[in-house]
Amino acid sequence: MRRTWLWLCVLASWPAPGAAQDYEAERRELVQEIARDFRDTSGHTGREDGSEAMLAAMLRVPRHEFVPDEVRRYAYENRPLPIGHGQTISQPYIVAIMTDLLDVGPGDTVLEIGTGSGYQAAVLAAIVGRVYTIEIVGPLAASARERLARLGYDNVEVRPGDGYDGWEDHAPYDAIVVTAAASHIPPPLVRQLKAGGRMVIPVGDRFLTQQLVLVEKDETGGVRTRQLLPVQFVPLTGGH
C-alpha cells in the first residue's frame, strides 16, 4: 500500500473548514472501510488504492453536517441517506471512487451536476481549486449554498438549475462529475470537458441496472467511455 494507517490517523486530526472536531474516530473507521472497498472492486475500477488527496478529503469533510438531524447518527455508515425532496446523499465509497477517478488536483476546476446537500462538492473543494455545482431542486441548492459557506468552503459556487446543459460560463472544465443517473451522456457536458479531462457519470434507467461510466477526452477531442461498476442513483431530472 502507498500509505500507512498512522498517516491516516495524523490526517484525521486536521480540522475541516469551519467544523467542530467531533466524529473523528467514525471518520477514520469509514475511511478504512472505503480502503477495503477499493481493494474489493479494483478488478472493475483498476484502483486498488485511493489517492492520498482523496483519502485526506474524506477524513476531513464532516459528513454529519451534510445530512438531516434525524439521520445524523448514521452519517458515518457506508451507505446513502435521505436528504429530503426525494434525494439522497451518496454512499461514501461511491463519493470516494467518483472523486478518485477524476484524477484532479490543486488548480483544477470541476463541474458537478447534482449538488444535493453539498457533500460531494465539499470533498472536491478540499482537493481542487474551484468547484461549480448545479442543483435542480431549488430548496436543496439554497441550503447547500448556505451550508458550504458556513463550513468555510469558499471555493464552491452553487447554482440552481437544470444541469443537463452544464455551466457554459466557466467551461472548459478539467473534470465533470454527475451525481444522478442519466439515460445517456449529455452532449453539452462532453463539449464543456477540457481536452485531457475526465467525466464520471452513472448511466441507465432508474428501474434497471445503471453503470458508473468513465468518460475520457483526449488531447485531440476524441472521446472514450468505459463502464466500471453497477450502481444505483436517483435519476437526473429536468427538461431532457
Cα distances from 208 to residues 97, 134, 176, 181, 185, in angstroms, run 22, 25, 24, 11, 17
Q: How confident is the model at residue 240 (pLDDT cuts 50, 70, 90)?
A: low
Annotation says 90 is catalytic: yes
Domain ranges of the chain: 5-231
Mean pLDDT over 17-30 rounds to 76
pTM equals 0.89
Location of C-alpha cell 486530526: 13
Least trusted range by pLDDT, from 30-44, 52-66, 115-129, 200-214: 200-214
Per-residue model confidence as pLDDT tens digits over 141-155:
999 999 999 999 999
Provide the phi-psi class of 230: left if phi over 0, else alpha when psi is between -120 and 50, else beta: beta
The CATH classification number of 5-231 equals 3.40.50.150
User: Higher pLDDT residue, 9 or 202?
Assistant: 202
CA distance linking residue 101 with residue 59, whole number of Å = 18
Active-site entry in 13, 42, 90, 183: 90
* Residue 18 pLDDT > 50: no
Q: Which helix (DSSP H) or strand (DSSP E) does residue 181 occupy?
A: none
- The three cell numbers locating residue 98: 467518483
Per-residue model confidence as pLDDT tens digits over 173-210:
999 999 999 999 999 999 999 999 999 999 998 777 89
Total Cβ atoms within 10 A of residue 116: 26
